[in-house]
Structure 1
Amino acid sequence: MHSTPSFSSKAASDGSVPKLAHSLSIVLPAHNEEQVIATTVTYILETLSPWADEFEVVVVDDGSKDRTGEILHVLAEQDQRVRVITHPVNQGYGAALVSGFKAADKELTFFMDSDGQFDIREISLFFPFIDQYDAVLGYRIDRQDTWMRKLNAWGWKQLIGLILGVHVRDVDCAFKLYRTAFIHQSQFETRGAMINAEILYKLKRADYTFKEIGVHHLPRRTGKATGAHPRVILRAFKELFYYARQWRLQERKSAPR
């Protein structure tokens, strides 16, 4: 039986969103997002302030070569709720998330991309379900990507279902809420685009429950997506087949005889 955070019935200042009664860590991986990072972080602070008494925004600058790091440190100086973790060189999306997860010290951990393709206000859709489930997972409504990326995502989803037994609507949607206890007790091993699949696999293996909620996906206005880069895709496949084998061996060893 898992402990369940609760939400107070006291309404937020807008009169419609229930106030979060537990603390919240927001993890944002960022790589070369100088054009949008200040807007993203400021909007999160402004949105969550009336909804949560205690929260933090943990931004992981994953080896950015532009002014992302400089902008983030100015934001952190202006607001103590902003924490910055810096990777001197780019280590990959999974590595950025893992660094953010390790730093998160609130009761709930939520993560989203920092590129402006999600609206933090939609986290309020998750609030009514965290009492009933161990995780709340977003899936993209009207995904704003090319047909090729959508096709790749569909194929990856089928592969993850076949190999890992993970069946969700949107494996890689970067809008998910977990209990920090689960995040900290799990030893995440992948460091690339495979990270979401690993988290979901370990959530399933630990017999945790989840609820899926549709969230809107917005067009990217600045920057360049790197998820479809051949190097990123190749790394994800390598990690999938290597770790799937390792995890299968672990399961056999731990299975009752």
Structure 2
Amino acid sequence: MSHHFEQINKQASASAVTTAEPIAEPADARLKTIHSLSVVLPAYNEEHVIAMTVHNVLTWLDRWGIDYEIIVINDGSKDRTAVLVAEISAVHPQVRLINHVTNQGYGAALVSGFAAASKSLTFFMDSDGQFAIEELRSFFSFIDTYDAVIGYRLNRQDTWMRKLNAWGWKFLVRLVLGVSVRDIDCAFKLLHTQLLRESPLETRGAMINAELLYKLKRADHSYKEIGVHHFPRRAGRATGAKVSVILRAFGELFSYAAKWKREGRKQR
């Protein structure tokens, strides 16, 4: 595992764009006394990387000395993902496992995690090892100024087809919902938990990030965009480009956009 961290640090140093500060320094002392943190990790068939991801999060949050919990949502995995998380949870009570008996979708996994979050801040990140939790440190500097801090992927490590799909989705979401950010679906976002209580999320598929950003915009909440490094997937298989996932996202986009438009007219 330490070899993997060395590789991440080498890659991050080679293409560092976000900050010149050493990421191993402790978080701002104000965070320790004012904020607590819920880390939400959705997981689907991630047995090859889930233990490394959770242990990495544990290591860095312990180092920062903040009050935290880690919530892993096993979204109907057919492999040993849930078993491995349960073993970690038995040793580390900060880790909580939520099991979906069947696969309900990425959005459903996040919603379950958000509902279980008990700390003042909620952060979510994918469990596939393509992000480095240590980059969250730079987000803490802005969370008292903004309602949310959202990441965008630097040098995105995905296939050209996924990048093309992402470009088309970004254009469509901007056209339909008026949401304009650099990277809608970047799974590296920090926000005040209270916002999730005020505006519960309704979608359950890949549309979830677009809905989150739309509701931030609709409520005039502020957000800060920060670049984060994106690393190649080490194991497992991404499901975001599956036809069924894409069709579900399109269906949710248009149906919920119409619903929210009707609600807006009634409010006016």
TM range (shorter): over 0.9
Distance in 2 separating the partners of 1:215 and 1:225: 19
Task: Give yes or no for contact 1:141–1:217 (8 Å, CA) kept in 2.
Answer: yes
CA distance, structure 2, for counterparts of residue 206 and residue 17 of structure 1: 29
- 1:203 equivalent in alignment to 2:216: yes
Does the CA-based 8 Å contact 1:29-1:61 persist in structure 2? yes
Q: Is the 8 A contact 1:141 1:214 kept in 2?
A: yes
Instruction: Look up the match of 1:85.
Output: 98
How many pairs are equivalent?
Answer: 244
1:218 and 2:208 are equivalent in the alignment: no
Q: CA deviation at 1:131?
A: 1.4
Q: Which residue of 2 aligns with 1:8?
A: none
Distance 1:36 1:208 in 2: 35
Q: Residues 48-127 of structure 1: matches in 2 within 5 Å?
A: 48-127=61-140
Q: Contact 1:13/1:50 (CA < 8 Å) preserved in 2?
A: no
Structure-2 separation of matches of 1:221 and 1:128: 30
* 2:31 maps to 1:18: no
Cα distance change of structure 1 residues 230 and 123 upon mapping to structure 2, 3 Å threshold: same
Tell me, yes or no, if the aligned pair for 2:23 and 2:137 is still in contact at 8 Å.
no
| TM-score of the aligned structures, taking structure 1 as reference length | 0.93
2:192 to 179, 190, 201: 179
Equivalent residue number for residue 235 of structure 1? 248
User: What's 1:244 paired with?
Assistant: 257
For residue 14 of structure 1, report the CA deviation from its aligned partner.
4.9
The normalised TM-score by structure 2 is: 0.89
Over 3 Å counting, the alpha-carbon distance change for 1:14 and 1:29 in structure 2 is closer
2:41 and 2:126 in contact (8 A); partners too:
yes
Question: Hey, what's the Cα distance between the residues in 2 that align with 1:232 and 1:172?
Answer: 13
Matched to 1:92, the amino acid is G
One-letter code aligned to 1:18: D
3-state SS of 1:105 partner = coil
Cα distance in 2 between the residues matched to 1:121 and 1:98: 24
Moved more, 184-193 or 240-249: 184-193
Q: Distance in 2 between matches of 1:178 and 1:121?
A: 17
Q: Which runs of 5+ in 1 are unaligned?
A: 1-11
Residue 37 of structure 2 contacts residue 66 of structure 2 at CA under 8 Å; is this kept in 1? Answer: no
Residues 154 and 228, structure 2, Cα contact 8 Å, conserved in 1: yes
Partner of 1:9: none
After superposition, the CA RMSD in angstroms is 1.4
